[in-house]
Amino acid sequence: MYLKKTALALLLTICFMTPAQASSISPGQVAALQNEGFTAILLSGGGNPVLGPTLGNSLDFLSGALATSTPTLANASLTVTLAGVGTFVSSLTTTMQCSFGNCLYNFGQGINVPLNIYHPIAGTVIFTLNGVSTGPFAFTFVDPVPEPSTMLLVTTGLGILGSWKSRRLTR
C-alpha cells in the first residue's frame, strides 16, 4: 500500500511539474531618442549620427533585451562618454515579466549632460545587461544653438518691457 501511494505521488508530481528552463537574457539593439522622444535613431546600424538633448539636458536612449524565461532579474547600465566632457552612467535593476516563452523588454534610460555644448563632440554609448555588453556605438553630440532671430526677439521684448516700466515709474 505504501509503495502504491509513493508511486502515485511521484506520478502526480511529474505530471503537474512545470519544466525547468535555463534563465537567459541577452542585450539587443540600442537607439537614441530624439525630437522630444518621438524619433528613435538606431545606433547599432553603424554610422555616426548627430544627436542633441531629448528634453532639457537629457540624452535619452532605448535599449532592448530578449529573455527566455520568466521572471528574469535584469541589471542594466548605460555608459555614455563624451570626449573632453566626461563619462555618465545610468543604472537600472528590474524584473522582466513575460507571459509565454521568449519576450522582448525595453529599457529607457536618460543621461543628464551639461548644456551649452555648441560644437560637435564625439561620444560613445555602451549598453550592459547582466554583465554582457553591446557597443560601443559612436555618435556626435551637439546642443542646438539658439537662432539669432530668436535672440533678437527676446532682446527686443525685454527692451520694450524695460522702457514701459521706466515710463510708468516716472509718471
**Angle at 35 (CA atoms; ends 31, 39), nearest 5 degrees:** 40
**Could you tell me if 104 and 60 are in contact, meaning their C-beta atoms sit under 8 angstroms apart?**
no
Torsion of CA 157, 163, 169, 170, to 10 degrees: -170
The pTM of the full predicted model, rounded to 2 decimals, is 0.65
Is residue 105 within 8 A of residue 65, CB to CB? The reply is yes
pLDDT of residue 25: 62
Q: Report all structural domains of the chain as residue ranges with CATH numbers, in order of start.
A: 22-165 (2.60.40)
C-alpha 57/C-alpha 55 separation (Å) is 6
- For residues 79 and 136, give the distance between their C-alpha atoms in angstroms, rounded to a whole number: 9
Dist CA 134 CA 136 (whole Å)? 6
- Residue indicated by cell numbers 518621438: 38
Q: Residue 56 pairs with which residues in a beta bridge?
A: none
Contacts of 126 (CB under 8 A, 6+ apart): 78, 79, 133, 134, 135, 136, 137
Q: pLDDT means per 10 residues in the chain (171 residues)?
A: 39 33 62 83 80 82 74 81 88 73 73 80 87 85 76 86 83 69
Q: Are 22 and 111 in contact (CB under 8 A)?
A: no
